[in-house]
Amino acid sequence: MNDEEPVGAGEVLRRVAVNLFHGYGYTYYREENNLRADDQRIRRMVSEQLQRARKTLSEAESAYRREQFPPPSREQPFPPAEAQTNARRLEALALAVSAVDGQIAHLPVPANDFMTQRFRREADTLKRLCEADVELVSEAQVLAASVEGRGYAALLAEAETVERAIAAVKARLLERQALLV
């Protein structure tokens, strides 16, 4: 379109809107923006899975304390040592899941700047991050499935399995972080 040709008010408004979007570094149809949004959505799914697992573990710990800790008496003012150890183990599992969830919430993505776009090929990096995040979702689902619907007795019996599932999520998290180095 030549600058000499008359343009309608709608075209002028469209040009102004596009210039405003570009001026703030946002181009709404760029593949990178869609990939960045997908990355956030996938990480939110991971977080939801981990929160479900943490909730189950916390509820199991509370139920264990209610049922296995006798009321204090003069003869036994503190709960039995084995009961305390088991309660602490359930608590540690819930805290480990919560810590991983916190790390996922603060995961970096490539900056949306010209250096990143030129030298790191932002779209390729974001595609690899999305692929890593999908694997992170699968590990988080395995973790959530390994604890969901189980009582404290089953969780204590399978605590090593839960710990391995947490370690697998952490390993995927480290692999994802390595993509940005």
pLDDT in tens, 58-108: 999 999 999 999 888 899 899 899 999 999 999 999 999 999 999 998 887
Check whether 5 has a pLDDT greater than 80: no
37 assigned to some structural domain: yes
Which residue shows structure tokens 């998290």? 173
The pLDDT mean for the chain works out to 85
User: What is the number of domains present in the chain?
Assistant: 1
Domain limits for position 101? 31-178
Contact between 154 and 146 under an 8 Å Cβ cutoff? The reply is no
In a domain, 36, yes or no: yes
For residues 28-45, give the mean pLDDT: 79
Distance CA 72, CA 1 (A): 85
- Domain-embedded: residue 173: yes
In a domain, 3, yes or no: no
DSSP state of 179: T
31-68 and 81-105 helices, crossing angle to 10°: 170
Say whether pLDDT at 4 is over 60: no
> What letter would DSSP give residue 110?
-
Higher pLDDT, 14 or 68: 68
Quick check: 110 pLDDT over 80? no
Residue 17 lies in a domain: no
Q: How many CB atoms lie within 10 A of CB 83?
A: 16
The region of weakest confidence among 23-32, 48-57, 98-107, 150-159 is 23-32
Report CA-CA distances (Å) from 71 to 30, 100, 141.
63, 34, 37
By residue count, the chain amounts to 181
Q: Is the pLDDT of residue 16 over 90?
A: no
The pLDDT-based confidence of 29 (bands split at 50, 70, 90) is low
Residue 15 within a domain: no
**pLDDT at 25 > cutoff 60:** no
The confidence band for 49, taking pLDDT boundaries of 50, 70 and 90, is very high
Q: Is residue 82 assigned to a domain?
A: yes
Asked whether residue 22 is domain-assigned, the answer is: no
pTM, two decimal places: 0.77
Look at residue 46 and tell me whether its pLDDT is greater than 60: yes
**pLDDT above 80 for 2:** no
**Closest residue by Cα to residue 162 from 79, 61, 74:** 61
Which tokens hold the place of 155? Answer: 């969780």
Give the confidence band of 151 by pLDDT, cuts at 50, 70, 90. very high
